[in-house]
Amino acid sequence: MTSVTSRCLSRSVNERALSSPLKWKHEALAVVKVKEIKTHSQIINCCQFCCQDEKFLTGSDNTTLSIWDCYTGRQLQSFHGHTHIVSGCSYHDSLNRIASVSWDTTLRFWDPETATELWSVSHDGLMTTCHVSLDGRLALAAGDDNIITMWDVSSRKRLYQLKGHKSTVMSCQFSPTINSFSSSSIDKTSRLWDMRLMKTLLTLRGHTNAVTSGCFSSDGRLLSTASWDKQVLLWDIATGSYRSAGPVALQNHEGNVSSCEISHNGTTLISSSYDHSVIVWNVDVHCPKLKLQGHTDWVLDCGISKDGNWVLSSSKDKTVRLWNIEGCENLQFAVDNMSQNLGLQTTVCETCGKQFAISHPNGPTKCVFCRLSLPSRSFTKIE
């Protein structure tokens, strides 16, 4: 049976979606509600909201795809056909179709209603990523052969094979404008491709390690990229301001960043990391709003619902988590606002890097939590 653990961390969100007799014992102190689904037997590599955010899709090391109900946590469909790790998936709402790629070197399309495979094609190397265009006509797939392949979905014919990256392509995504698409690679670069000329339009160099993920904003203006250098970079593709000022760097993760996604309204960005956390960012002011912690191993993928109220995360710890962040917009700035109201100043802890309030400029340089964690004074035992 599906095991769903609901931990209450607030009382202001949808009770129907998170009803469970299991509640966190410090409920009164909590800010975010989270559902944990623990029925997977192996690592979950990818996840995505689907079906108008009422369901979500996962791909696992156990070679299967699964569709789950967001409200009950119940598994609705399981897709069998891949013979190796499922490394990437893409759901298309209007087509009602699922695309998936695997280390078995195949790209497969599925009918989510019947869980049947519609068609599949083989590549020369193991596959890592796939994406379907907004109009549903085209599909991208890429992997460790460094080549991006474009397919016509209706005719199932290969249209182009695009070369340019010097190492494994980790992510590819169509722009909402359908005139371009992006790709990210272990070669430390992201590329923007012109679909009319079928060649590289821009090569973005800003990361110092493998680029694992790329995501456009819904208006196509911004491109976010995540990297093993522990950063998420924001590139203003529309104005090209990064050419003179560089991309905007979002830095708060303590481990490699595995995935990122921009919300539909463009105000929020989420990123997942090997530091076991998901961070929710304010895109306008380039600051973190929330750090969602609870996974016990690498968080490999993340997604955000269209209304921006739910965050989805999948992990090497074999769990999927649904986080309700509705009403949590101003939590990150609570310390700043409280300090201003009390006439206090804020500083950054020299140990953990977090902000805390001080009453005068020559106050402590470490927050109370880091000061409490210091070793106690040692005493010489007298015989």
Statement to judge: residues 351 and 214 lie in one domain:
no
Among 311, 329, 347, the domain boundary falls at: 329
* 329: Cα separation from own chain's centroid: 18
Which residue is it, tokens 């094979």? 161
Residue 140 has what pLDDT? 97
How far apart (Å, rounded) are the C-alpha atoms in residues 199 and 276?
A: 37
Identify the domain containing residue 355 by its residue range.
336-372
Edge-to-edge, what's the strand order for the sheet holding 199-205? 169-174, 180-185, 189-194, 199-205
Q: Does residue 232 share a domain with residue 169?
A: yes
Q: What local confidence, expressed as pLDDT, does residue 356 receive?
A: 54
Whether 234 and 304 share a structural domain: yes
Structural contact between residues 40 and 318, judged by C-beta atoms closer than 8 angstroms: yes
- SS3 of the chain: the string is CCCEEEECCCCCCCCHHHCCCCCCCCHHHCCCEEEEECCCCCCEEEEEEECCCCEEEEEECCCCEEEEECCCCCEEEEECCCCCCEEEEEEECCCCEEEEEECCCEEEEEECCCCEEEEEEECCCCEEEEEECCCCCEEEEEECCCCEEEEECCCCEEEEEECCCCCCEEEEEECCCCCEEEEEECCCEEEEEECCCCEEEEEEECCCCCEEEEEECCCCCEEEEEECCCEEEEEECCCCCHHHHCCEEEECCCCCEEEEEECCCCCEEEEEECCCEEEEEECCCCEEEEEEECCCCCEEEEEECCCCCEEEEEECCCCEEEEECCCCCCHHHHHHHHHHHCCCEEEECCCCCCEEEECCCCCCCCCHHHHHCCCCCCCCCCC
Are 296 and 354 contained in the same domain? no
pTM of the full structure: 0.79
Identify the pLDDT of residue 307. Answer: 93
- Model pLDDT, residue 368: 52
- Looking at the structure, do residues 253 and 183 belong to the same domain, yes or no? yes
Cβ proximity of 225 and 232 under 8 Å: yes
Domain assignment of residue 380, yes or no: no
237 within some domain:
yes
The pLDDT score that the predictor gives to residue 358 is 55
**Cβ distance 329 to 337 under 8 Å?**
no
Output the pLDDT for position 344.
Answer: 41
Residues 226, 105 within the same domain = yes
Same domain, 178 and 277: yes
368 and 267 belong to one structural domain: no
Say what the pLDDT of residue 178 is. Answer: 72
Q: What is the pLDDT of residue 159?
A: 96
**Residue 49 resides in a domain:** yes
Length of the chain: 383
Residues with pLDDT less than 50, the chain: 1-30, 332-344, 359, 375-383
> What is the domain count for the chain?
2
pLDDT score of 23:
37
Give domain status of residue 383, yes or no.
no
Same domain, 140 and 227: yes
Triad 83, 88, 94: Cα angle to 5°: 110
- In terms of domains, do 29 and 105 share one? yes
378 domain residue, yes or no: no
Same domain (yes/no): 249, 359: no
Per-residue pLDDT at 361: 56
What's the burial of 262, exposed, middle or buried (CB within 10 Å: 0-12/13-18/19+)?
A: buried
Residue 169 lies in a domain: yes
CATH code of the domain covering residue 266: 2.130.10.10
pLDDT at residue 329, rounded to an integer: 58
Do 317 and 341 share a domain, yes or no?
Answer: no
Q: What is the pLDDT of residue 372?
A: 53
Q: Which of 263, 258, 251 is CA-nearest to residue 287? A: 251
